[in-house]
């Protein structure tokens, strides 16, 4: 049994499809309007420059992909991938202004791209939804070039007193906001999926197990969110 989210992927996809119209607004409320800052940090860790190529996995409505597109400029290329067509539909409608930015429906566990096709791959608040974390990281590693970056931004269980206080608020407010928006089940899932997600040391270990090097992690906002990043070495081979 792989280490990953136990919820059936078809149910997860249907749930994200259903909440796609309210997703951006809910995210801002739930994060206390912190999410733009977290996303900027993730994009910085991708170490992109003009003309480079990047992939954002589990892109949702495309916020990180749009920020990556700004980092690579008009001569660069960014693809956002998500398995929920409702999310891709919103991304396509709302973020098509940037040249070189496109969105595609696809599965994070079987990315439809050649080995080494990108300079960096990112995933924001998507990894905890995958049924196999190692395979998710292995696929993100496979599609970046040697020397390229793999970046993961995800909700985590904080250890500091301040972080734990924020976490209690989060655990309480998320289902309340979810019910108010008529999406109680979906936001109860959000809380449950964060509880099952491994701590930062284990995520870093999985990243090393799939062959990434120079793996570092940084707690943000008291540790309610953690940013992991690693580099694909020369001679990387896909784990068996």
Ligand X SMILES: C[S@@+](CC[C@H](N)C(=O)[O-])C[C@H]1O[C@@H](n2cnc3c(N)ncnc32)[C@H](O)[C@@H]1O
Token pair in block for residue 229: 């990043």
The residues, any chain, with a CB within 8 Å of residue 161's CB and separated by 6 or more, are none
Q: Work out how close the CB of 207 gets to ligand X at its nearest, in angstroms, rounded to a whole number.
A: 18
Name 10's Cβ contacts closer than 8 Å, sequence gap at least 6.
none
For β-strands 144-155 and 118-124, DSSP reports them as parallel
- Considering the complex, what minimum distance in angstroms separates the CB of residue 126 from ligand X? 4
The residues facing 101 across adjacent strands are 78
Q: By the 8 A CB rule, do 175 and 188 touch? A: yes
Q: In whole angstroms, how close is the CB of 125 to ligand X at the nearest point?
A: 4
CB of 38 to ligand X, least distance (A): 9
**b/e code 119-152 from CB counts within 10 Å (16+ = b):** bbbbbbbbbbbbbbbbbbbbbbbbbbbeebbbbb
- Residue number closest to ligand X, CB atom: 60
Out of 4, 30, 52, 63, the only residue in the binding site for ligand X (CB under 6 A) is 63
* Residue 109 or 181 with smaller CB distance to ligand X: 109
Give yes or no for a contact between 165 and 224, defined as CB atoms under 8 angstroms apart. Answer: no
**Is 129 one of the binding residues for ligand X (CB under 6 A)?**
yes
Sheet containing 53-57: give its strands across. 101-105, 77-82, 53-57, 118-124, 144-155, 225-231, 213-220
Task: Give the interface segment with ligand X, choosing from 11-19, 92-100, 210-218, 221-229 (CB under 6 A).
Answer: 11-19
Query: Using CB under 6 A as the criterion, what x/- string covers residues 89-128 for binding ligand X?
Result: ------------------xxx--------------xxx--
Specify the residue, 68 or 204, whose C-beta has the smaller distance to ligand X. Answer: 68
Please report, as residue ranges, which positions from 70 to 89 form the binding site for ligand X (by CB under 6 A): 82-84, 87
Q: Nearer Cβ to ligand X, position 60 or 200?
A: 60
Chain residues binding ligand X by CB under 6 A are 9, 12-13, 16, 27, 58-60, 63-64, 82-84, 87, 107-109, 124-126, 129-130
């Amino acid at each position: 049994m792989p280490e990953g989210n136990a919820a059936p992927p078809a149910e997860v996809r249907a749930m994200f499809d259903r909440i796609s119209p309210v997703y951006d607004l809910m995210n801002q409320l739930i994060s206390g309007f912190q999410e733009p800052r977290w996303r900027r940090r993730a994009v910085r860790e991708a170490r992109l420059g003009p003309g480079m190529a990047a992939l954002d996995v589990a892109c949702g409505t495309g916020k990180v992909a749009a920020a990556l597109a700004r980092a690579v400029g008009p001569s660069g290329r960014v693809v956002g991938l998500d398995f929920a067509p409702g999310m891709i539909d919103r991304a396509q409608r709302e973020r098509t202004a940037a040249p070189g930015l496109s969105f595609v429906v696809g599965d994070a566990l079987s990315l439809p791209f050649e080995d080494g096709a990108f300079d960096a791959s990112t995933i924001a608040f998507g990894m905890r939804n995958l049924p196999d974390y190692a395979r998710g990281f292995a696929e993100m590693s496979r599609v970046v070039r040697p020397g390229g970056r793999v970046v993961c931004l995800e909700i985590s269980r904080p250890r500091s007193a301040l972080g734990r206080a924020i976490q209690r608020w989060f655990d309480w407010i998320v289902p309340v906001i979810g019910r108010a928006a008529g999406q109680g089940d979906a936001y109860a899932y959000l809380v449950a999926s964060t509880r099952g997600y491994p701590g930062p040391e284990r995520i870093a270990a999985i990243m090393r197990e799939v062959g990434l090097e120079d793996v570092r992690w940084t707690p943000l906002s008291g540790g309610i969110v953690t940013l992991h990043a690693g580099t694909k070495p020369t001679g990387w081979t896909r784990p068996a």
